[in-house]
């Protein structure tokens, strides 16, 4: 599928990248772009290369071919403009750290010593807590919060320095259905109101279908990119897989069914309708 022309406000341009690990190509000729204010999901089965793609964008894996451009800069020059929320953050309930304190660490946690009191700093923290609708639990210990509440705080922590791109690895994986839908809607809202491009990986695309602007669907090391309507079609995914694929909509959910006998089809329908696996 052809990639659209880059908008003048591009936050991320991935141009024909290939990543080889252990002598084996993981992703090949993957291209897509994301403008500021857009929200996109990277979707794919176990081993499709979602985590590898995110790590390459973050500069943690090196592409053997192609380029990653962040806000008109390639290589390490663009990395300071990227916010990141990892897949698993373990927060001990006994940790004497309030939610607002964790958000504030996004501003100055990389510096040595304790930050000096600052009205401007407090104002930025309060604004970001309001942006993620976390005022009601801002003074609670972060380790005692629910999974959905912790995600909101981690998002605020990552956004407080105003990145042009926010990358999130499986932020919905440990959440219940209601919390996953709530966080997905929040991210779509933040992309617009904070003028930030948001790219996340997910196994279950259903919480995202109604709110994401673009989808990057990975299979066999390649990608189909576009709007949900452009990508989630039987003909598009059949070409991507090299096998017949059905896209079934049932009870407001989408299930992708790969042809029986395809080695890559293991649990794939279950996976994309709500299963939990890791890349």
Kindly list the averaged pLDDT for each block of 10 residues, start to end, along the chain of length 279.
55 96 93 96 90 94 94 72 87 90 82 64 94 96 93 96 95 90 96 96 91 95 94 94 90 82 46 39
- Model pLDDT, residue 267: 38
- Model pLDDT, residue 279: 44
Residue extents of the structural domains in the chain: 10-272
Alpha helices (H) along the chain = 50-57, 99-108, 119-131, 147-159, 177-193, 206-209, 228-231, 234-241, 268-272
Domain 10-272: give its CATH code.
Answer: 3.40.50.300
- Model pLDDT, residue 110: 54
- Model pLDDT, residue 271: 41
Q: What does the alpha-carbon distance between residue 245 and residue 265 come to, in Å, rounded to a whole number?
A: 10
- Model pLDDT, residue 225: 96
List the one residue out of 33, 28, 7, 5 whose CA is nearest residue 18: 28
């Amino acid at each position: 599928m052809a990639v659209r022309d880059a908008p003048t406000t591009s936050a991320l341009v991935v141009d024909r990248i290939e990543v080889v690990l252990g002598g084996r190509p993981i992703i090949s000729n993957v291209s897509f772009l994301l403008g500021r204010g857009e929200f996109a999901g990277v979707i794919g089965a176990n081993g499709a290369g979602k985590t590898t793609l995110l790590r390459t964008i973050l500069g943690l894996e090196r592409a053997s071919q192609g380029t990653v451009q962040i806000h008109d800069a390639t290589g390490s020059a663009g990395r300071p403009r990227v916010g990141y929320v990892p897949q698993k953050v373990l927060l001990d309930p006994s940790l004497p750290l309030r939610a607002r304190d964790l958000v504030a660490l996004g501003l100055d946690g990389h510096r040595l010593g304790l930050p000096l009191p600052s009205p401007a700093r407090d104002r930025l923290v309060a604004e970001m807590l309001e942006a993620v609708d976390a005022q009601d639990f801002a003074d609670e210990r972060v380790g005692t919060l629910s999974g959905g509440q912790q995600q909101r705080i981690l998002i605020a922590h990552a956004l407080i320095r105003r990145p042009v791109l926010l990358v999130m690895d499986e932020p919905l994986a440990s959440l219940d259905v209601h919390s996953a839908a709530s966080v997905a809607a929040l991210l779509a809202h933040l992309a617009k109101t904070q003028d930030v491009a948001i790219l996340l990986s997910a196994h279950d695309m259903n919480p995202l279908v109604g709110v994401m602007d673009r989808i990057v669907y990975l299979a066999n090391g390649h990608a189909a990119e576009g709007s949900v309507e452009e990508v989630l079609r039987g003909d598009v995914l059949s070409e991507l897989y090299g096998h017949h694929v059905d896209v079934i909509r049932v009870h407001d959910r989408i299930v992708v069914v790969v042809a029986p006998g395809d080695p890559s089809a293991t649990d794939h329908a279950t996976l994309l309708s709500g299963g939990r696996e890791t890349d």
